[in-house]
Structure 1
């Protein structure tokens, strides 16, 4: 049997299995609240699984493998912020956000600061989530075309069908459990490939010696390409801006209790450690096993198709598809609920009936998926760049509403609005200027947002005790 047949067979079986599971779960979903947030009933295991799988997207496997391949150990800084996010969430943020009892991120913003803030946030979320969705579809095309020479449009449509199938029908509950399966598939697949590489290279020490011979900077903490300032930018992108990415914050809101929200993040941090370690080994070891690859997004496919047994290769491709699906379904769910619940129901038709809302959410899921496919063919950047830019713009606009706004009662409505606008504008300008002085927009945007929030709040009308009481009951 040709290896391409083995690859596609494993991937198809995996995708069909997830689709069937989503349909079975979806049969029990009758209420919009169940579809959106599983009635805040997710336990620690599915919650940590879905959070991990949402963070670990196609970017994390396909593009990061190439990043480590091309940059050596200094490349590890691009994942430092992700670990930081989970630790901060476990210690403070997840529990705090869950205590408020909101279902969606814009709902929290609306209650904390006002409907106008929520509308602005919802628009940013829609733009960001569709952009991130297109990055996942782009990755799916790249991966599947390494297996079979199908037309990119056909691949996009097939992948979209799988995304939509269990997201539109099963909602958050289906997403959570399919994500959990995807999470463990990802970890098992990456570890299997890492162990295979270490055996081929004669162990970790031999791999390090080989990398040092190629370029001593490959085994250092920083390099000419990845300076301490670059590392700080990565920490900010994923360590700060993730708190403005509602596909992550929304997971905190779906926990059974504030305590389970916090504990799930601690488990997620451990899972991330179990993922990034072998992924680094794959990228670094791949540099020695198959040198000469120049394009970042082609490294993973080349390593899988040319260096490992077809069955292991099929497992790795299934792991990538798992990462793609687990992130894409969350983005579809996020975008559809944002439009249906946080925009349409909140501002246009508040008296919308439950059945109509549920059906509308499912239809919007399909429409947004189609938009994501169209946008896929308009993107030309590396997948990692698309992903980072979308997270940076959302984070620059909204992260401080969580990191400061959820903990400081002195933040005013005017301060929050000025913060959102300033963060988004500064990050956008910083990108357009080519990141002056080597400073990442993920630093410039959130720092500007936070400073503006504090300064404007100091000179504007405080919120009333009645407005603050749901969030700071012990202080007002």
Structure 2
């Protein structure tokens, strides 16, 4: 049975989140406030919001579960993600902030259209469709994680647990928009960081140290080496490290770069983000390893962190730390719902359905879109056989393969045209989906062939079709100069 102290802790946490949503509901006065916080976010909020929305429930559930089953070799996922995080902040963030400021773009789809001046609108529409498809899958992964958490803690039916989690998340996203999402992410990121550092330290002492972990891994035939024991170990390493490629195409993370007040704040935000990611990923790997001797026969490997907290801590402290798992889940779903809402509002309603819509009307439409997307994601999440890591890996790979190369070419290739960007996006997505559907994902993570196909398509077309529009070329040069000089926007 659930401890009343844990329940009280969760209720207080929910009330706190609702309070943030209501507060920023009053502060949100126009569509730019609702979708990007008025492009006025500070370093700490931007950094922790980006990383908290990035890591999601899989950091505290999916990754420890993978390490619990596969051992140290699963750390390549964390290594790849850390490298991807550093590269994304260092190279993508500055140019994307300047470019989207210059073009007044509020979504990735509108940025692609404005950057390449696509006269057909196809680049925006295809980007928006891909965004909605993969974000629906991604959001459902968070609801699966919420369902598992509530089911384990409160001993309630899985479907009921999923619905309860969805209601809480949707409410504060619906009310406060981007500002509420970012500020809740700040607090959630701090709570996640505390949990992933404190819990493994205390659990390590409880299991008897490294010798106990080694003995348990030997008894379960789990290797402690970094090199995978397969026929093609290099291929396996590349496949797991390739998670890092996904960063360049994640709309909910890129939206944080668009929202920061000035590129002068990016170095500080980058430092905060990198330290957070390094320690958090390391902590998640350690949680997975410690769980091997601690829970030799657990039924669901993705629940090891939950079980670890409930065994070590009293109900009051445990409730706070379990709220960190909920924080990880919420901090990603709220961002995904908001970006999906942004896509429907900015890229379809405002530019296709009703071009003269008022600011107030667009905010109402944005909130309605949050509800619609939530309902679809909820139905997907009601299947209890879904795994958090499985759903996340497909959606993450989809964004990385479809958008990652296009973002990089948009920011660093002067000669790329809308035709090559559109072709690369379509080819990359098709290759990823086919690779996954025919079962080749077990050999190589589908993001790798999808990403490569996208890059090759754009590169080949760039040989034959080169950008010649002087306005586009001048704007590119202006962005590069602004970033190099570190000018305020």
Tell me how far 1:455 sits from its aligned partner: 0.2
- 245-254 or 302-311, which deviates more: 302-311
Classify 1:271/1:407 alpha carbon distance in 2 versus 1 (closer, same or farther; 3 Å). same
Residue of structure 1 in register with 2:56 after alignment: 57
Residue of structure 2 in register with 1:241 after alignment: 246
Match of 2:193 among 175, 187, 195: 187
Tell me how far 1:437 sits from its aligned partner: 8.3
Q: TM-score, structure 1 length as denominator?
A: 0.94
Whole-Å separation in 1 of the counterparts to 2:66 and 2:95: 35
Tell me how far 1:261 sits from its aligned partner: 3.3
Q: Give aligned pairs, total.
A: 473
Whole-Å separation in 1 of the counterparts to 2:398 and 2:268: 28
How far does the alpha carbon of each residue in 1:219-246 deviate from its partner, in whole angstroms, 9 at most, with x for none? 2112326933222122222x11221110
Residue of structure 2 in register with 1:37 after alignment: 36
- 422-431 or 60-69, which deviates more: 60-69
Give the superposed CA RMSD.
2.2
SS at match of 1:253: helix
Tell me how far 1:247 sits from its aligned partner: 0.6
Counting only pairs closer than 5 Å after superposition, residues 31-180 of structure 1 correspond to structure 2 as 31-100=30-99, 101=101, 102-113=105-116, 114=118, 115-180=121-186
How far does the alpha carbon of each residue in 1:1-57 deviate from its partner, in whole angstroms, 9 at most, with x for none? x65333322222212211112211221211111111111100100001101110121
- 265-274 or 457-466, which deviates more: 457-466
Residue of structure 2 in register with 1:250 after alignment: 255
Classify 1:259/1:236 alpha carbon distance in 2 versus 1 (closer, same or farther; 3 Å). farther
State whether structure 2 residue 289 is matched by structure 1 residue 284.
yes
Tell me how far 1:171 sits from its aligned partner: 0.9
State whether structure 2 residue 420 is matched by structure 1 residue 415.
yes
Tell me how far 1:282 sits from its aligned partner: 1.6
Tell me how far 1:299 sits from its aligned partner: 2.9
Query: Would the aligned equivalents of 1:413 and 1:463 in 2 still touch at CA under 8 Å?
Result: no
Counting only pairs closer than 5 Å after superposition, residues 387-426 of structure 1 correspond to structure 2 as 387-426=392-431
State whether structure 2 residue 304 is matched by structure 1 residue 299.
yes
- 332-341 or 464-473, which deviates more: 464-473
Whole-Å separation in 1 of the counterparts to 2:146 and 2:296: 24
Q: TM-score, structure 2 length as denominator?
A: 0.91
Query: Would the aligned equivalents of 2:85 and 2:247 in 1 still touch at CA under 8 Å?
Result: no
Query: Would the aligned equivalents of 1:90 and 1:263 in 2 still touch at CA under 8 Å?
Result: no
Query: Would the aligned equivalents of 1:53 and 1:182 in 2 still touch at CA under 8 Å?
Result: yes
- 3-12 or 101-110, which deviates more: 3-12
Whole-Å separation in 1 of the counterparts to 2:468 and 2:398: 27
SS at match of 1:471: helix
Tell me how far 1:390 sits from its aligned partner: 0.8
Question: What residue ranges of structure 1 are gaps of 5+ in the alignment?
Answer: none
Query: Would the aligned equivalents of 2:95 and 2:479 in 1 still touch at CA under 8 Å?
Result: no
Question: What residue ranges of structure 2 are gaps of 5+ in the alignment?
Answer: 482-489
